[in-house]
Amino acid sequence: MIKGVIFLVVSSVIVAKFRKELFAFRRHGPYMFVAAEGLLLTFIVNGGFMFRDPFVLRQTISWMLMLISAGLAILGFYALRAYGEAATDWEDTTRVVQEGIFRHIRHPLYVSLMFLAGGMLLKDLSLPAGLAFLATFGFLVAASIVEEGEKIARFGDQYRQYMLGTKRYVPLIL
């Protein structure tokens, strides 16, 4: 019951955040909405296991993934703020950010959420958590691909050149 109320309250906040883009399927917003809901669901399902058996290997790996997630988020937000020359908010940059963490991967904030979802999944491996993780991961991939189309439309060849020299998620690999 309490988990349901928490889900509804936080989900309402997520809906409010994405309300303007909720049905704009050619933009990355709807995909991020579903990913955020999946991440919330993963947390709701596995949140009670955060500190259970803290020293087993699965929990240690889980915490490592979540720490990596936090580090990537900090580096990503810092680079956007420091180099992005934001027009309105931190995400609405007026130039292609190629400095900081963006020198190595194009989507550090999406990767951060992927690591967070993976860390939350490992708290307690279950079918509901696994399905929420898969939805989150899949929609983060979809959001990043759609966002690249937005960046190409906005920055043209400059973003295409950036794409050629920088991997999407994992430096030098993917």
List, for residues 110-169, the tens digit of each pLDDT value: 999 999 999 999 999 999 999 999 999 999 999 999 999 999 999 999 999 999 999 999
Q: What pLDDT is stored for residue 51 in this prediction?
A: 84
Tokens 């947390």 identify what position?
43
pLDDT digits (tens, 9 = 90+) for 24-45: 778 888 999 999 999 999 999 9
For residues 88 and 101, the answer to whether their CB atoms sit within 8 Å is: no
Largest CA distance in the chain: 52
Q: What pLDDT is stored for residue 146 in this prediction?
A: 95
**What is the SS3 assignment for 105?**
strand
Q: Once rounded to an integer, what is the mean pLDDT over residues 91-105?
A: 90
- What are the angstrom distances between the C-alpha of 81 and each of 71, 84, 91, 92, 97? 15, 6, 9, 10, 10
**Stronger pLDDT, 18 or 166, i.e. the higher one:** 166
pLDDT digits (tens, 9 = 90+) for 42-93: 999 998 888 888 889 999 999 999 999 999 999 999 999 989 887 776 677 8
Per-residue pLDDT band at 15 (split at 50, 70, 90): confident
Q: What pLDDT is stored for residue 70 in this prediction?
A: 98
Q: What pLDDT is stored for residue 90 in this prediction?
A: 64
